[in-house]
């Protein structure tokens, strides 16, 4: 419950820093995904579950305990459904991921949190764009059109650049004019593989760990539902004996 409050606090603080709370209509202005939503949604769910489970157990409130069980059961069912659909409709998921990444590439400079998320993703998976560096043509600052007067024209963000272990300071201009070079030369200075295929490769390489994490989360959820239902049964049994 307190962790949920902390997540909500971080999310609201981030929105306050960006001026969203003083102008609520700006929530819909961002063309891409705002990472703050992750903190707000996850924090809200954690707080609701924590409050219902904790207060329900302390006060022996069967309504809150049943709500906790049902809510946790719905989350488990949604996770299970999402997993099955992701396995059955792999190509559709890949298309949606491609659309999602490209949509956020367009909004790269619109939000600092989104920018940091994209940079982290490209650096971690050593990728550039959804399926390649040329996806950055979708961004008004990085496209190669003659009408683009930006210094970043035909370039990529610094997070696409290959890292030199000898460099202690990040060169934020390393991606300038990178896509004007021949493809062979591009591979020396930037990552040319897209983030979608790199994510697929990472998933295959870490399938056992990912599956173990999801199974562990599922078991914890089932365990929580069983404990809550067991406590409800005990409370009702005691009340019935009065």
What pLDDT digit, counting tens, does each position of 212-224 carry?
999 999 999 999 9
46 in a structural domain = no
**Coil, helix or strand for 142?**
coil
Share of the chain above pLDDT 70, in %: 95
17 in a structural domain = no
DSSP classification of residue 127:
-
Q: Which of 150, 153, 156 is nearest to 105 (CA)?
A: 156
The band of 177, judged by pLDDT with boundaries at 50, 70 and 90, is: very high
Token pair for 238: 């005691």
Instruction: For residue 195, give every residue at least 6 positions away whose Cβ sits within 8 Å of its Cβ, in sequence order, or none.
Output: 101, 121, 122, 125, 127, 128, 129, 130
What pLDDT digit, counting tens, does each position of 224-235 carry?
999 999 999 999
| Mean pLDDT to the nearest integer, 190-195 | 93
What pLDDT digit, counting tens, does each position of 7-21 carry?
889 888 887 877 776
37 in a structural domain = no
pLDDT attached to residue 239: 86
Q: Containing domain of residue 156, as a range?
A: 60-241
Q: How many domains are there within the chain?
A: 1
16 in a structural domain = no
DSSP classification of residue 172:
T
21 in a structural domain = no
The band of 158, judged by pLDDT with boundaries at 50, 70 and 90, is: very high
Average pLDDT in the chain? 88
Give the count of beta carbons closer than 10 Å to the beta carbon of residue 77.
11
Helices (H), the chain: 2-17, 36-58, 62-88, 90-106, 112-124, 183-189, 195-205, 207-240
Residue 155: exposure state from Cβ atoms within 10 A (0-12, 13-18, ≥19):
buried
111 in a structural domain = yes
pLDDT attached to residue 14: 82
What pLDDT digit, counting tens, does each position of 117-145 carry?
999 999 999 999 999 999 999 999 999 99
33 in a structural domain = no
pTM greater than 0.85 (yes/no): no
Q: Which residue has the tokens 């030369």?
A: 185
d(CA 235, CA 241): 10
pLDDT attached to residue 91: 85
Q: What is the CATH number of the domain that holds 124?
A: 1.10.1450.10
Partners of 161 in the β-ladder: 190
In this structure, the chain runs to a length of 242
Share of the chain above pLDDT 90, in %: 55
The band of 74, judged by pLDDT with boundaries at 50, 70 and 90, is: very high
18 in a structural domain = no
What pLDDT digit, counting tens, does each position of 28-61 carry?
666 667 788 888 999 999 999 999 999 999 998 9
User: Does residue 73 surpass a pLDDT of 90?
Assistant: yes
pLDDT attached to residue 95: 86
pLDDT attached to residue 26: 62
pLDDT attached to residue 167: 76
């Amino acid at each position: 419950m307190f962790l949920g409050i902390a997540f909500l606090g971080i999310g609201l603080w981030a929105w306050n820093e960006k001026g969203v709370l003083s102008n609520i209509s700006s929530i819909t202005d961002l063309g891409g995904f705002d990472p703050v939503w992750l903190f707000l949604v996850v924090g809200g769910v954690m707080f609701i579950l924590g409050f219902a489970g904790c207060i329900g157990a302390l006060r022996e409130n069967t309504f809150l305990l049943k709500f906790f069980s049902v809510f946790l059961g719905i989350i488990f069912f949604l996770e299970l459904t999402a997993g099955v659909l992701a396995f059955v409709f792999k190509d559709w998921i890949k298309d949606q991921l491609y659309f999602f990444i490209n949509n956020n590439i367009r909004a790269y400079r619109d939000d600092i949190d989104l920018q940091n998320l994209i940079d982290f993703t490209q650096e971690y998976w050593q990728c550039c764009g959804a399926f390649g560096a040329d996806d950055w043509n979708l961004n008004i600052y990085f496209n190669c059109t003659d009408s683009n007067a930006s210094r970043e024209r035909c370039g990529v963000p610094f997070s696409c650049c290959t890292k030199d272990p000898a460099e202690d300071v990040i060169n934020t201009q390393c991606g300038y004019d990178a896509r004007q070079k021949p493809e062979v030369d591009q591979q020396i200075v930037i990552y040319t593989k897209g983030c979608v295929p790199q994510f697929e490769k990472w998933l295959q390489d870490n399938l056992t760990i990912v599956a173990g994490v999801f199974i562990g989360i599922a078991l914890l959820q089932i365990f929580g539902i069983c404990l809550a239902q067991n406590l409800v049964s005990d409370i009702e049994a005691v009340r019935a004996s009065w």
